[in-house]
Structure 1
Amino acid sequence: MKAGRAPTPEQRETEHRRWVTRAERVAELVDGHTRRTDGRDPAPPVAEAELLRQHGLLTLLTPAAHGGAGLTWRTALAAVRVLARADGRIGYLLGDHYVSNASIWLAGGPRVQSLLGRPSAERQWLWSDVVVPGAAPLDLTADGDGYRLSGTRLAPIGVATADMTVVAAADTGSAEPLLVGVPRESKGVTFTPEPESGVPRPDGINVRYDRVWIPSEHVVCSLDPDTATPRASLLGLAVQAVSGHLCLGIAEGAMRYCRGGGPGATPPGARALAGYGTWLAALDAAGELANRVAERLSDAAARPTLTWPERAELAARVSRLPILAADLATEVTFGLYETTSDWPASAQQGFDRFWRDARAYTAGMPLDKRRREVAQHFFTGAEPARTDLA
């Protein structure tokens, strides 16, 4: 969407639909794609990243003034959900990119936006993150007009494909937590595959930073809750919204796959049909919540005057989505997997990616924390965490 006069509602809806259609085209290219027969992602998602780049989806959220499409979170989250229906791996890759790239637009100042925003749009950079809430912070040691970044972190395997990574680390002098941008080709960055594990998970590579130079202009923002602004704190809510749409898309994709039945599959019996009906009703309800969350997040991100009470109310609403969607993704994909027991082995293996994705992408979600925050806000009005990026 070009910069200039504000678009009409009809124009916004047309543009939204056009970009969702782009995501659907990518989904068609990856749907049914054979992958991961051993429960793991063995290699960085280079092909998936190139598909996103070729179809222009990486610049969807970038403001038009900086060379992007200038769309909102409503469209970005819809694209994530569409792709997750086809393959959770590419849905996760796009969602992680949107959140990581959005850090400069929601939390960064004009300097970092100018330095990183336009080159990112022009060169179609893929973004990822190395942010692990609760883990010991990586070290940032002051060095001249910048820092040296050191430490090792287990990260999503997409980090090895990303052109730019945002990393959470702490200033060793002041202990202030900072979010910094690190180009993939920076000297001192190395990637090592995670040792084999029987548990599927999206974090599949060890990233080591050996005194990596971080110029001061690559400091995106402080993660100190005492200095955060309501707008910057939307970054954490975007993480939750992406997680919810990802989980919902995986569950919806599993239902669609089962509707196809798989080669030689028999129609489900009466008991299985009852389960399908229950899951469809639940997914419809969750889908309505997901749409409302996307609209409210879009509205909040467009408001420079957002207040902390408004942000707290939004946070309590947004947090409902990952709680519901994660539970549904686990329940639906496991229940459906049980119904595929009579399918041919090839069809069953094609389906198993859904329940493995559901397990992988819900494993690290702090769902109990989200449940407590939602309940506490309901009973006491307590404000959810301001700078929680999980």
Structure 2
Amino acid sequence: MSLTLEQALKKSPWQGKPRPADALQWLTRAGEVAAILAIDQVKRDRRQAVPAAEVQLLKNAGLTTLLGPVQHGGAGQHWDTAYKVIRIVASGDGSVGQLLGYHYLWAWAVRLVGTPEQIDAVEALYTANDLFFGGAVNPRDGDLTITEVDGQLVYNGRKSFSTGSKVSDLTVLEGVLQGTDKHIFAIVPSKQDGIVYHDDWDHLGQRLTGSGGVSIQDVRVDWASAAGYVDKIYQSRTYETLNLPAIQLVFTNFYLGIAEGALKTAAGYTREKTRAWPYGGDNKDSAGDEWYILEAYGTLQSRLWAAEELANSAGAEISALLHAERDALTPEARGRVAVRIAAAKQAAVDVGLEIGTRVFEVTGARATANTVGLDIFWRNIRTHSLHDPIAYKRREVGAYALRGQIPEPTWYT
């Protein structure tokens, strides 16, 4: 498939074709999306337009309802497949992989904290109407303030980051009820006067995620929409704490996807354009015969495969927990999977940054041209891997390895 994004939107390559029937077919569909995105990834990154077209492509491909219930028109797939889909899409465009991963997490948020009635309502709404999620839940900012007015909850405040919200249909809000310590999540329509996007995302990488700031002004919801609250009392369970390891593995997989894209792009350049070095005393006819180039690709590919297998294993473990009965989860099981995901994340960051740098060594000086765009991969991983300090993930794994200590749930663990 060699369509550009613009061409794919004019005439969907999946129009009239049956929907994928199993996990393997969905991974193939994700690969088709990645191939479209990869063609003009660099041009779109440079342009930094609002990623509305990219989100529409995800919808047209059916990927946005991958986790949605079958009875409402979704694919009914599990998280272990979703994580691989995120990785594959990110191999074509890291920003779009992040958008899709965040969408999956926010679409699942109602299962993490909601009542059974809220779960049914939200999943029916987003799946049947193919709605895309964003979120304004950056915990490093001050919480949004919630006041109760005439029996409704009124959200006000500002968030520095709100990935995907401007191109979303639904936004997850989180704030603290004034005069209490009650955190309240709610899902609201994204397109309303009370949500103002600042269009101020101008960072080194992940430039097409629309992750700029957002102001929330008098956004009202009924108590019935306060996720997990019954008669204004929150129904807490250990299951809700899976939110953090689940999204950390989202990060891990789009890092790995970006690294895959870097290695694939570099290999194509090496095969087609890199010249052998004629002054080494062991001269080769082509760059593909150079021992140092073969050694580098062998090292990078091996490390990437190892990191991917760790991510796959962790994905299978947390998927089993996410799809089990919510009340069955124990703190110990949650802690063990969080450690495994912390290990997978640090492996992904390490190999991703290494690949993002070393691809220049195996492509040559001419590959530094802006038209080639090899810089995009390092920039993307370097930017998002600063989301929370990777040193703390190393410490969590160390504490488990040395003392058998599992991490306590936090906003980042």
Alignment TM-score, normalising by the size of structure 2: 0.83
**Alignment counterpart, residue 31 of structure 1, candidates 35, 38, 55:** 38
**In the alignment, is the contact (CA less than 8 A) between 2:204 and 2:383 conserved in 1?**
no
**In the alignment, is the contact (CA less than 8 A) between 1:81 and 1:245 conserved in 2?**
yes
SS at match of 1:152: strand
Deviation at 1:242, TM superposition (A): 0.7
CA distance in 2, matches of 1:101, 1:255: 31
**In the alignment, is the contact (CA less than 8 A) between 1:44 and 1:158 conserved in 2?**
no
Aligned twin of 1:212: 219
5 Å-filtered alignment, 1:57-96, equals 57-96=63-102
Residue 356 of structure 1 pairs with residue 365 of structure 2: no
Residue 270 of structure 1 pairs with residue 291 of structure 2: yes
SS at match of 1:233: helix
CA distance in 2, matches of 1:196, 1:231: 36
Residue 188 of structure 1 pairs with residue 217 of structure 2: no
1:318-345 Cα offsets, whole Å, 9 max, x none, are 2111111012111111121344443356
1:3-62 Cα offsets, whole Å, 9 max, x none, are xxxxxxxxxx9711011111111112111214358x767322101100111111111112
Residue 163 of structure 1 pairs with residue 184 of structure 2: no
CA distance in 2, matches of 1:315, 1:41: 37
In structure 1, the gaps of 5 or more residues are 1-12
CA distance in 2, matches of 1:192, 1:141: 24
Deviation at 1:117, TM superposition (A): 1.3
Deviation at 1:197, TM superposition (A): 5.4
5 Å-filtered alignment, 1:209-288, equals 209-221=216-228, 228-261=236-269, 264-266=273-275, 267=287, 269-288=290-309
Amino acid at match of 2:212: I
**In the alignment, is the contact (CA less than 8 A) between 1:129 and 1:165 conserved in 2?**
yes
Residue 369 of structure 1 pairs with residue 392 of structure 2: yes
**Alignment counterpart, residue 311 of structure 1, candidates 325, 331, 334:** 334
Amino acid at match of 2:131: W
> For residues 41 and 292 of structure 1, do their structure 2 counterparts lie closer, same or farther at Cα, with a shift above 3 Å needed?
farther
Aligned twin of 2:55: 49
Amino acid at match of 1:28: A
**In the alignment, is the contact (CA less than 8 A) between 1:126 and 1:162 conserved in 2?**
yes
CA distance in 2, matches of 1:345, 1:314: 40
> For residues 214 and 295 of structure 1, do their structure 2 counterparts lie closer, same or farther at Cα, with a shift above 3 Å needed?
same
Q: Give the stretch that moved more between structures: 285-294 or 375-384.
A: 375-384
Residue 292 of structure 1 pairs with residue 313 of structure 2: yes
CA distance in 1, matches of 2:147, 2:104: 28
Which of structure 1's runs of 4+ aligned residues deviate more than 4 A? 195-203, 344-348
Give the CA RMSD over aligned residues.
2.5
User: Between Structure 1 and Structure 2, how many residues are aligned?
Assistant: 374
CA distance in 2, matches of 1:188, 1:94: 25
Amino acid at match of 1:208: S
> For residues 288 and 106 of structure 1, do their structure 2 counterparts lie closer, same or farther at Cα, with a shift above 3 Å needed?
same
SS at match of 1:261: helix
**In the alignment, is the contact (CA less than 8 A) between 2:137 and 2:162 conserved in 1?**
no
**In the alignment, is the contact (CA less than 8 A) between 1:138 and 1:170 conserved in 2?**
yes
Larger Rg belongs to: 2
Aligned twin of 2:22: 15
Deviation at 1:195, TM superposition (A): 6.9
1:268-287 Cα offsets, whole Å, 9 max, x none, are 64334322221111111111
Amino acid at match of 2:135: D
**In the alignment, is the contact (CA less than 8 A) between 1:107 and 1:235 conserved in 2?**
no
CA distance in 1, matches of 2:108, 2:203: 32
Deviation at 1:312, TM superposition (A): 1.1
1:286-313 Cα offsets, whole Å, 9 max, x none, are 1110110111111111221121111111
Deviation at 1:82, TM superposition (A): 0.5
Q: Give the stretch that moved more between structures: 252-261 or 164-173.
A: 164-173
Aligned twin of 2:105: 99
In structure 2, the gaps of 5 or more residues are 1-19, 276-286
Aligned twin of 1:173: 179
State the percentage of identical aligned residues. 28
CA distance in 2, matches of 1:198, 1:17: 34
Deviation at 1:67, TM superposition (A): 3.5
Amino acid at match of 2:103: H
SS at match of 2:372: helix
SS at match of 1:349: coil
**In the alignment, is the contact (CA less than 8 A) between 1:178 and 1:220 conserved in 2?**
yes
**In the alignment, is the contact (CA less than 8 A) between 2:199 and 2:210 conserved in 1?**
no
1:157-179 Cα offsets, whole Å, 9 max, x none, are 52100111112211112122222
Deviation at 1:75, TM superposition (A): 0.8
Amino acid at match of 1:265: T
> For residues 90 and 199 of structure 1, do their structure 2 counterparts lie closer, same or farther at Cα, with a shift above 3 Å needed?
closer
**In the alignment, is the contact (CA less than 8 A) between 2:51 and 2:210 conserved in 1?**
no
Alignment TM-score, normalising by the size of structure 1: 0.88
CA distance in 1, matches of 2:342, 2:90: 20
